[in-house]
Amino acid sequence: MTKIEQLKDWIQSSDNIVFFGGAGVSTESGIPDFRSKDGLYAREDFKYPPEEMLSRSFFDSHTKDFFDFYRKILLAPNKGPSKIHHKLAELEKEGKLSAIITQNIDGLHQQAGSQKVFELHGSILRNYCMKCHKFYSEDTIRETDGIPLCEHDKGIIKPDVVLYEESLDNHVIAEAISHLQKADMLIIAGTSLAVYPAAGLIDYFKGDTIVIINLDPTPRDKIATLLIHGSISQALCD
């Protein structure tokens, strides 16, 4: 039995799977990942290092530069949900997948039809005035030049994404932990498992079966019951 056949067999026999995903899940939708050799952080064509531009201190001190980068890179057009996103939504409808815990901010899981999605790092689809908390869609940010300002009080409209130096949402963390503790199978895919505290959440899993699917090795490969260094779509969808 091949690794992919083994994975499919386990999925068929499980009814409480949690999927923990990172940037590699969305690369097939045209969204670049961050830490691979060809990822966003390897690029040198920006005025400042990408990791610096995604920090709260940079947002506060170089707000216009932040939004120029944010529009160009994080709001860049994508192809919509990939077959990975659709497969996970299908598994949820079949009663096999209980939750998706994602480090991504693109909202593609919801677009594919998934209902139980915990976004550890927020979403580009939600934006709020920093003064009055009025909601704005991503189109407002996309269609504005410079710093987007609230029509009500001229406060800065900040994307509801977790920047470096900011804390994760406690409610989202609690829900993610609860689902991990109840799951009988954990599939980890498309993540370097290098970003904490998000990566540390997998330690709350109490089940027996951990599958890691990633192109590159991760620091946690040794905990995997099944390790696949390859394409997520080939492992899950073919």
121 is catalytic: yes
User: Can you give the pLDDT at residue 58?
Assistant: 97
Among candidate residues 121, 133, 179, 229, the one labeled active-site is: 121
Q: Which helix (H) or strand (E) holds 140?
A: helix 138-142
Domains: count for the chain: 1
Number of other CB atoms surrounding residue 89 within 10 Å? 21
Domain of residue 10 covers: 3-236
Compute the distance between CA of residue 161 and CA of residue 128 in angstroms, rounded to an integer: 10
Number of other CB atoms surrounding residue 125 within 10 Å? 17
* Eight-class DSSP state of 169: P
- Please report, in tens digits, the pLDDT of each residue of the chain (238 residues total): 899 999 999 999 999 999 999 989 998 888 877 766 666 776 777 788 888 999 999 999 999 999 999 998 888 776 799 999 999 999 999 999 999 999 999 999 999 999 999 999 999 999 999 999 999 999 999 999 999 999 999 999 999 999 999 999 999 999 999 999 999 999 999 998 988 888 899 999 999 999 999 999 999 999 999 999 999 999 999 7
Task: Give me the CATH number covering residue 105.
Answer: 3.40.50.1220
